[in-house]
Amino acid sequence: MNSSASTPVTAPGQHPASVPAVGTVRSVRGAVVDVSFCGYALPPVNTALVIDWKRPEPLVLEVHSHLDPSTIRGIALQDTAGLARNTVVRSTGSPVLVPVGDAILGRLLDVIGTVRDRGPPLPPGTPRRGIHNPPPRLEDETSNTAVFETGIKVIDLLAPLAQGGKAAMFGGAGVGKTVLVMELIHAMVEKYKGISVFAGVGERSREGHELLTDMQASGVLARTVLVYGQMNEPPGARWRVPLTALTIAEYFRDQKHQNVLLLMDNVFRFVQAGAELSSLLGRLPSRVGYQPTLASEVASLQERIASVAGAAVTAIQAVYVPADDFTDPAVTTISSHMDSIIMLSRTLAADGFYPAIDPLASSSVLLDPLVVGEEHYATAERAREALARFKDLQDIIALLGVEELGASDQLIVKRARRLQRFLSQPFVVTEAFTGTPGRSVSRADTLTGCRAILDGEADDWAEASLYMIGTLEEARQKEAAATKTAASS
C-alpha cells in the first residue's frame, strides 16, 4: 500500500528510529527495487536510499511503499543494470536533496542534483532542499492578470499568456513544440528580468545539447538553470525530474522573492514515466493503459506551480499528443490545469505555416475585455470569425472553387488567407536552417497589422508579401518592392 504510514514501533532487539536504517537488496525488477530492513524501523515513504556499489557513482532509490514490517519497495533514479541481491542499502533519513540558489545558475543538473555540464563542482556550502514540498496555501497564492508578451503574433493575439500563470502547448510529433519552447526562451529570457528554470523531461540528448550551446551563445545561460532527465534514462529519473526543477524554482520564489520562468519539455513524458512505473509495480491500468493515479500525479505537480505575494512563477509547458488524439486522457488531464492552451496543428505545419498554432482551437482565460482591453478583444474576435468562416468554406472551395462563393464570402476568404499568412513569422532558433532572420513583434504592432488586414488595407497585396514577416510595415515594403520589380520587367 502506497501511503506515508507512520514509522513502525521498535520491537525488542530493533534499532531505535533515530539510527539510520541499513538494509539489503531483496529483488530487482527494472527500476523497482525491494529492500529488506531487518532490525531497523522502515524509512518513511519518499525517503532517499543510497546504494554504494561497484560503480563510480552511488545508486539512489526513493521509497515508494511499505510491503511489510521489514521491507520497502523503492523506485531507482538511475540505471539498475548490474545491481545484485544482498547489496547494502543506506537510508539518508531525508527526501532526495538537490542544490538550490545562485550557485547553480548557468549549470546543468540531473534529477538528483549532480552537475552534468563538465564544469567545476558546486561550492561546498551550496544549500540543498528536498524535492517533495507541499503547494503554497490557498490564502497565500496570488492571481495575476498581467499579460506576458512573447513577441509571437498568434499567441499574443489569440492566446495571451499570464504573468504568473500556466500555459501549455499541445501537439503531435514533429509539429514544432520544442522549437516553439526554444523560441520562447530566446524571446523572453533576454527581456525577462528574473530566473529561468528549464526542465527537460524525456528529452533527446541532441535537443538538450542544442539548447545548452544555444543558451551559451546567446548569453542567457547565466540566469538559467537546466535540469534534465533524458529519454535514455530510467523511468524513475523522468518521473522525478519535474519535481527537481520545481524545487529550484520554489527556492528562488520563496527565499529570494524573485520571479521565475519555468519551462518544461515535455510533460507527457512525465505521465509516460509514471505509467511505466505503474506497470512495473503491478497496478491495474486505467483508461488507455495509463496509471490509475494519473489525475493525482498531474495535480500534485501542477498545484505546486503557483505564485505568491511578491514573486510569480510563470510556467510554459510542452505536451506531446499521442497519435494527434487531443481526447487522450493524459492530454485532457494536463489541460484542465492550464490558463492558456496553445494547440499545434499538423495541417498548418504541412501547409508551411509556422508557428503551426491552430488559432481556433487555442484559448486563454486572459482573452477578456477586462484584461486585454476592448480593442484587443474586438480585434481577436474579428480575426477568429474570419478564420472560422474560411474554415467552413474550405470544402466548398475545394469542390467548386472560390469563384462560386458570394461576394461577401469571397471577401472574407481573401482577408482570412492574408491574415493566416500574417500570423506566421520566422523564428530566431530556425535562422540557421531557413536563412531568414527571426522576428519578434510587439502586441501593439500585431493588433495594428490584424486590424489593417481585416479592414481591407491589404486586399490588393500579394499573399506572399504577408508570409513569414514581422510587422505590417515589413509586408508593405515587401509588396512595394515586388510591385517595382514587376513594373521594371
Active site residue 287: no
Beta bridge partners of 260: 195, 313
Residue pair 479/462 in contact (Cβ under 8 Å)? The answer is yes
Within 10 Å of residue 103's Cβ, how many Cβ atoms? 13
Active site residue 203: yes
Residue pair 183/215 in contact (Cβ under 8 Å)? The answer is no
For cell 528549464, the residue is 198
> E strands of 16-135, at which residues?
22-29, 32-36, 48-51, 59-68, 71-76, 88-91, 97-99, 108-109, 128-130
Task: Exactly one of 203, 207, 233, 474 is catalytic; name it.
Answer: 203
The C-alpha atoms of residue 378 and residue 369 are separated, in whole angstroms, by 8
Task: Exactly one of 29, 55, 85, 204 is catalytic; name it.
Answer: 204
Please enumerate in sequence order all residues whose Cβ is within 8 A of that of 78, keeping only pairs 6 or more positions apart, or say none: 57, 59, 60, 112, 233, 234, 236, 237
CA distances from 486 to 63, 259, 466, 479, 489 (A): 72, 52, 17, 10, 5
Which residue type, as a one-letter code, is found at position 321? V
Q: How many helices (H) and strands (E) does the chain have?
A: 14, 18
Within 10 Å of residue 150's Cβ, how many Cβ atoms? 22
The set of cell numbers assigned to 346 is: 499538423
Q: Strands 166-171 and 313-320: what pairing?
A: parallel
Asked if omega into 355 is within 30° of 0 (cis), the reply is yes
Task: Exactly one of 26, 107, 153, 177 is catalytic; name it.
Answer: 177
Q: Strands 195-201 and 224-229: what pairing?
A: parallel
Residue 286: Cβ-neighbour burial (10 angstroms; 0-12, 13-18, 19+) = middle
Which residue type, as a one-letter code, is found at position 256? K
115: which DSSP letter? B
Within 10 Å of residue 485's Cβ, how many Cβ atoms? 9
Please enumerate in sequence order all residues whose Cβ is within 8 A of that of 217, keeping only pairs 6 or more positions apart, or say none: none
Known catalytic residues? 177, 203-204
